[in-house]
Structure formats: C-alpha cells, structure tokens
Structure 1
Amino acid sequence: MTEARHSNCADHIENAVLDPTTISNVNSVFTNSTKSPVLSSGKSASLGIAILSIAFIIGFPGNAFIIWTILTRIKKRTVTCLFILHLAIADIIVILTAPFFLLLLGIGRWIFGDIVCKLCHYISCLSMYASIFLIMFMSMDRFLAVAKPFTSQKMRTKPVVRGIIASIWVLASLLATTMFFYRSVIGIAGRPQCIPYHNSPKHMVFQYTFETLTGFIIPFTIIVSCYIYIGLRLRTAKFQTKQKTSHLVIMIIVIFALFWLPYQVVNMLQVSGEIFASQNLTIAALKARPNVTALAFFSSSANPILYVFAGGNFIRSAGVGFMAKLFEGTASETSSFRKISQVFRQKSHTESVELEKCLEKAEPSNNMVSNQIY
C-alpha cells in the first residue's frame, strides 16, 4: 500500500511541467506541493544555502537574545511581554531546523530518515500556527483593554495568561499534525528526498484549504477586526498618548502578514488549479512557491531586526538592556488603553444622567400643557 502511494507521488513529480531555473531547494523547508521536485541544480542549491544561512545567522542569535532578555532582565513581565517571549520561542525552534535543510541542499539527498523528515516539517507548521495565534491573542488583549477594561483587568492574571499560552501551544501542536500524514521520504532518481505526497487530489485540496483557513484567514480576520475597533475608538478620543509598544505589535502583525500572505495565496492557487482543472494555475503556484517559501522562512528572523529598530533610542542609554527598556513600556501602554476606555464610559454615564434630568424637567411642562388643553 505504501509503495503504491510513493510510486504515485513519484509519477506526479516526474510529470510536473516546470522551469528548472525556478526550482529552489528552499522549497523543501515548507512546501506542500506533491508535484515539486526537490532535486537541486547548482544555482538553486547555492541560493537556498545562502538564504537559509542568512536566516540562521540572524534568527538564532536574535531570538535567543530576546528570550534571554525577557527571562533575565525583566522582573515584571506584562502580558504582551509573555506573548513576545513565546513568539521568539516559536521562531527559534523553526530556525533550529535550518542545519538539516542546509545539509540537504549541500549533498542533494535526505539522509536523516522518515521520522526526522516528518518532525522537521511538523516543527515548521507548529511554529506558523503558534506565531499567528500568539499575535491574535495580543490583538485580543488590546481589544479587551479598550472595549472591556474591567474584564481585561480580571483576566490579566498569571494563571489565566499561562493557561491561554499553554492552550495556544496545544492547539498549534494538534493542527500541525497534518505534516505527519502528508510528508514522507521518497526515492527520486536514486536519491531519498523528504517531500509531501497525497493519496488523491482531494487530500491536497483539504490540506491546503485547512491550513490557509486555520493558519491565516480566520486568525487575521479576528486581528483586523480588533484593530479596526481600537482604531475607531481611539480616533474619537482626544488623547496624546505615547504608544510605542502598540506600534511595535502592529508592526509584528504587518511583517507576519507580508511574509506569510504570498505563501497562503500560492496554496490557494494550487487548490484552484485542481478544482478548476487549470494547469496554468498549478504551474504558476509551483513556480512561485520557492520564492514565497523563502519569505516564510525569513519571518522567523524578522522580529529581532524589528525590535532593534524599535528600540534604537535605548541602545545608547541602556546598552544590551535596550530591549528590556522597549518591552517594559507594555505595562504603561495597556494602562493608557484602559484609561481611555474608562473616560469613554464615564462620559457616556454623564450624558445619560444629564438626559434623565432633562426628561424629568420636561415632564412637569408637558403636564401643564395637557391640563390647559383639557
């Protein structure tokens, strides 16, 4: 049974109509295409090695520094600070898979066996889900601080936050299990390759659609809705508050979207190609996948660079502690959200009281008028 599956997948790979110059072995890091060849040519392998090397050189020490800063330099960790900590953990675990793929690109074959093949891609998918869910809850935390400040204050306890973060990791772990079913080591041209395969086109459509819905569309709909509400709320408030950390979180969201949106679009292109039997869409998706895969991998290295730019003003005064200064601002920023919301509530309450007084004064006048009429 397994041999039949592998043979079917190999036939798909051999029959794929692709321009060899567009096939990059970086595709083997995240790609979910059953038709994507992973055997490398000289230029594509060199490009893949360069991309993965840069991502590893920036991403590993950068995310390790974030984790070290939050764990050792910040005594009172805010909710945002904890989310950023786990976001760095999600990034660093996927960066740790880079050496496996660097060796694959270097020698042109997968030598680590089927279990490690599945595990490396499972970690990549786990990181994607954990990152987007952490970002989603950061947005929801700010939404609650504005819309329901008292509820937010009750929920911002360590047990609740730890429970939310633990639930995020459990959910991400479950959703990423598709990689164990749709990834395997298959021999191609006498070389073992760690590539995806599906029993039928329906499995491919299910995997990509499920991944895009749960890993991008649904979370980002929630994120955008939260920030639209916050933006409309703050727009009517006459406050001049410094919200550096709020801007930082928004930039984290924007960068994640920029890196992952093209990847998800390619997934949907390939699904559309299968549903509408369009070879052009399928080929376009397969040709674009190496580039969007490289962007997705770089998303795990982008946040440390972002924090350096955001905390640039603190570098001279705080030295290596500049990032701690940046993250410490999350407490005052959230309290300012609550103050704005409380002012709105007080204003609304005052207006209601004044309206009731006006109505009470109007009642005697109405009674006098009615008496005169009758």
Structure 2
Amino acid sequence: MTEAYTTFGWTTISSVNSIFTNSTQAPVPSSGKSASLGIAFLSIAFIIGFPGNAFVIWTILTRIKKRTVTCLLILHLAIADIFVLLTAPFFLHVLGSGRWIFGNIICKMCYYISGVSMYASIFLIMFMSMDRFLAVAKPFTSQKIRTKPVVRGIIASIWLLASLLASTTLFYRTVKNMSGLLQCVTYHNSPKHMVFQYTFETLTGFIIPFTIIVSCYVYIGLRLRTVKFQTKQKTSHLVIMIIVTFALFWIPYQVVNMLQVSGEIFSSQNLTKAALKARNNAIALAFLSSSANPILYVFAGGNFIRTAGVGFMAKLFEGTANEPSSLRKISQVFRQKSHAESAELEKCVDKGDPSDHMLPNQQADLRD
C-alpha cells in the first residue's frame, strides 16, 4: 500500500534476476507513451479529486451544524484523500523530467503520507461498517459509542494507528542513483524484506479490515432478510458504494503484491514478471481511488442539485442525522419478532400433552 503511489509511467528493472540480486526495485524510464499515460491518470485524479474533496471538507465544516458519525467519517475520508493528492505535483514533475530532485526526506515523506492516508481510509471505512453492525446487533452499546468524545477518540486512534503501520515506508523508501539519474525507489536489503513489507501491507491494509467489513454487512444483511425489513436510507447505500468502490480500486494492487511475494517464495519468475508488468496499471487505479468519493457524492445527491444548488451535498450529508434511528428500528423489529416467537412457543408448550405436566406416579396410574 505504501508503494501504491509510486511514479506512473515507470517500470521496474526488466531483469527479474537482477531485482532479487540487489533487492532494489529500481525504476528506469519507460517509453514516452507510458509516461504520457501516467501523466494523464495523475492529472485526472488531481483535477477531479483535489477540488472535489476540498468541497466535501468545506461543506461539512461550514454548512452542517449537526455532524453525525457517518458525516465525521466522510470528512476524515476526504482529508485522507486530499493529503494523497497533495503529493501529485511531485510525481508529475518526475514523470516530466525523468528524475527525482526533491531529496531523500521528501522522497520518504511523500510515500509516508500516501501510506498513512490509505491506511486511514480503510480503517475509517471499517469503522463505518462496525458502527452499523453495533446499531443493529447491540443498539444500547451503539448509543454509548455514538457520542462526540468517543467518536473523536476513535478517529484519533485510527490516524495514530495508520501513522504507525505506514512507517515501513520510512525504512524501505530512499533516493538512489540509477543509471546516472536520481530516483526515489523502494530498497530492500534482502528478498525477505520485500516479502515482509508486501505481506504486512496486504494483511493490515486490506485482508483484515475488509474481512471485518464483509462480516459486518453479512450479519446486517441476514438480519434484514430475517425480519424482512426494507429501508430506503440513501446514506446506507452511499456507504456501501464507498466500500465497493474502494475495494475495486485496491484489489488489483493487493493482488500484484501477493503475486510478487509468491514469485519470491516459490522461485517463480513467471509470477514475478506478471506482477511487475501489472504493477503500473494497479498503481494507477489505486491513485484514482482518491478522486472517486466526490463523484459518488454527486451521483448520490443528484436529486438535491436542482433544489439546493451548491448546497446539495449538505442536504445529502444531513440525511445521516436520521440514520441511527433507522438502524435501531431494524434491531427493534428483530427483537419484537423474537419475543413474539418465544411467546408462541410458550403457548405451544402450555397446550401440549397433559401427561407432560404429570408426576411419574400419575402417569403410571393413567397407563394402568
């Protein structure tokens, strides 16, 4: 994940053997067509994502007085995305000039900021899912958690954890002289370090949090199906779209990571070559994810554009104020159904065979 924002339009050393000999993923200039494609992807992400996320932040901070849990999480998602997009000018310069001129510290910090932002994004999405799970499964616990001090503490913990997990970038990212050009590259002292970094990133930054996310929504879906509860809550659909979009953009990158790790573990040059060939496209998708959420908000709030104009997004986010009560209704319906089934079962027991309530000697008398 922390390498997901490596320079577009560059390819790693073509010789697989040399990669694992010096353990340096050294980029070399690719064709002008490839560099142009990278500039195009990065420019689109920056042109759409930066103003889009800035508008989201402005809307929540200035137009919404009552900020719900979902609203706060969307705010911090936008902050995480805009931090990533602030690094775009550095990468655009590299694509245009073919070299890194900003020094070792900025090299590390650009990729560290990207790593922190991406860890924060997935953990914020995970908290969204857990919040809904608790509202359905443990409504009383959910009410205790849904207070501003608790939520702010959880969000602060998410940023702190993201900062710690992304610290591998500070160790493995450095500036190297490659073929007479300074490059900001990932450098591993041995292949084991590469295996550790990519496996660690995939586990902590995707597999574990997405397992939790899917589990929460499977549970919620089963409950909804059991009680046949129907809801037209727009914000619930919006959150699901955010989760699905994030997964679609990031799954290719995580697959590439695991292909490269598998290539090293099983000594398969074919797997390694496949990973290196697909990495640039996977990185492009990962970077574009930072500009996806504002587009989702525009589609989700399309009905408000005619009536509210620029304030359409505020109308959309204000809808999250009714979200807790809607989720609690699901839990209440489920509990009422459970109580009704228990009462019906007790009636069936009471109307059962009278001999079930007799003492053993009374049952013997009946048999005689």
Report deviation, 1:145: 0.9
Alpha-carbon distance in structure 1 between the residues aligned to 2:126 and 2:209:
6
1:166 to 2:156 alignment: yes
Give the 5 Å matches for 1:36-185: 36-185=26-175
Alpha-carbon distance in structure 1 between the residues aligned to 2:130 and 2:118:
19
Partner SS state of residue 187, structure 1: strand
- RMSD over aligned CA atoms reads 1.9
Q: Who is 2:331 aligned against?
A: 341
1:373 to 2:367 alignment: yes
Is 2:112–2:170's contact at 8 Å kept on the other side of the alignment? yes
Is 1:16–1:35's contact at 8 Å kept on the other side of the alignment? no
Is 1:266–1:285's contact at 8 Å kept on the other side of the alignment? yes
Runs of 5+ consecutive residues of structure 1 not aligned to the other structure: 1-11, 19-32
Report deviation, 1:361: 5.4
Is 1:36–1:286's contact at 8 Å kept on the other side of the alignment? no
Give the 5 Å matches for 1:210-359: 210-359=200-349
Partner SS state of residue 232, structure 2: coil
Counterpart amino acid of 2:205? G
1:191 to 2:181 alignment: yes
Deviations 1:136-176 (A, max 9, x none): 01011111111111111111001110011001000000000
Deviations 1:305-349 (A, max 9, x none): 111011101000011111111111122233111111112112212
Bigger mean CA deviation after superposition, 339-348 or 193-202: 339-348
Deviations 1:26-80 (A, max 9, x none): xxxxxxx933524343222222211111111001000000001111111111111
Is 1:40–1:108's contact at 8 Å kept on the other side of the alignment? no
Q: Who is 1:27 aligned against?
A: none
Q: Who is 2:7 aligned against?
A: none
Alpha-carbon distance in structure 2 between the residues aligned to 1:120 and 1:107:
18
Say if 1:292 and 1:139 are closer, same or farther in 2 by CA, change over 3 A.
Answer: same
How many residues are aligned here?
349
Report deviation, 1:231: 0.8
Alpha-carbon distance in structure 1 between the residues aligned to 2:26 and 2:270:
15
> So what's the TM-score if we normalise by structure 1?
0.89
Alpha-carbon distance in structure 1 between the residues aligned to 2:68 and 2:178:
51
Alpha-carbon distance in structure 2 between the residues aligned to 1:34 and 1:187:
12
Counterpart amino acid of 2:244? V
Partner SS state of residue 228, structure 2: coil
Deviations 1:160-205 (A, max 9, x none): 1001100100000000000000000001121110010100000000
Partner SS state of residue 193, structure 1: strand
Report deviation, 1:235: 1.4
Partner SS state of residue 301, structure 1: helix
Is 1:40–1:105's contact at 8 Å kept on the other side of the alignment? no
Alpha-carbon distance in structure 1 between the residues aligned to 2:76 and 2:155:
8
Q: Who is 1:9 aligned against?
A: none
Alpha-carbon distance in structure 2 between the residues aligned to 1:328 and 1:137:
19
Report deviation, 1:355: 3.0
Partner SS state of residue 76, structure 2: helix
Deviations 1:64-119 (A, max 9, x none): 00001111111111111111100000000000000001111111110110000000
Report deviation, 1:239: 3.2
Say if 1:319 and 1:144 are closer, same or farther in 2 by CA, change over 3 A.
Answer: same
Q: Percent identity?
A: 81
Is 2:45–2:85's contact at 8 Å kept on the other side of the alignment? yes
Deviations 1:107-136 (A, max 9, x none): 111011000000000111111100100000
Alpha-carbon distance in structure 1 between the residues aligned to 2:14 and 2:238:
46
Partner SS state of residue 242, structure 2: helix
Alpha-carbon distance in structure 2 between the residues aligned to 1:15 and 1:355:
71
Partner SS state of residue 100, structure 2: coil
Alpha-carbon distance in structure 1 between the residues aligned to 2:281 and 2:35:
13
